[in-house]
Amino acid sequence: MKYTQLGRTGLKVSRLVLGTMNFGPQTDEADSHAIMDAALDAGINFFDTANVYGWGENKGRTEKIIGDWFALGGDRRDKVVLATKVYGNMAADGDAWPNHDKLSALNIRRAVDASLKRLRTDYIDVYQFHHVDRATPFEEIWQAVDVLVQQGKILYAGSSNFPGYKIAQANEIAARRSGTIGLVSEQCLYNLAERRAEMEVIPAAQEYGLGVIPWSPLHGGLLGGVLKKQAEDGRRTSGRAAATLADPAARGRIQAYEDLLDKHGVEPGEAALAWLLTRPGVTGPIVGPRTAAQLESAIRAAELELSEELLASLDEIFPGPGPSPEAFAW
Q: Which residues are catalytic?
A: 53
Going by C-alpha positions, the residue among 209, 153, 155, 149 that lies closest to residue 184 is 209
Helix axes 29-41, 61-70, angle to 10 degrees: 60
User: Across-strand partners of 305?
Assistant: none
Spatial separation of the C-alpha atoms in residues 180 and 175, rounded to whole Å: 7
* Secondary structure class of 167 (helix, strand, coil): helix
Q: Which helix (H) or strand (E) holds 329?
A: helix 326-329
Spatial separation of the C-alpha atoms in residues 279 and 50, rounded to whole Å: 25
8 A C-beta contact, residue 297 and residue 175: no
Q: What's the half-sphere exposure (Cβ side, CA atoms, 13 Å) at 302? A: 24
Residue 289 identity = P
Helices (H), 239-325: 239-245, 248-264, 268-276, 292-302, 308-317
Check residue 105 and report its DSSP letter: H
Q: What's the half-sphere exposure (Cβ side, CA atoms, 13 Å) at 288? A: 23
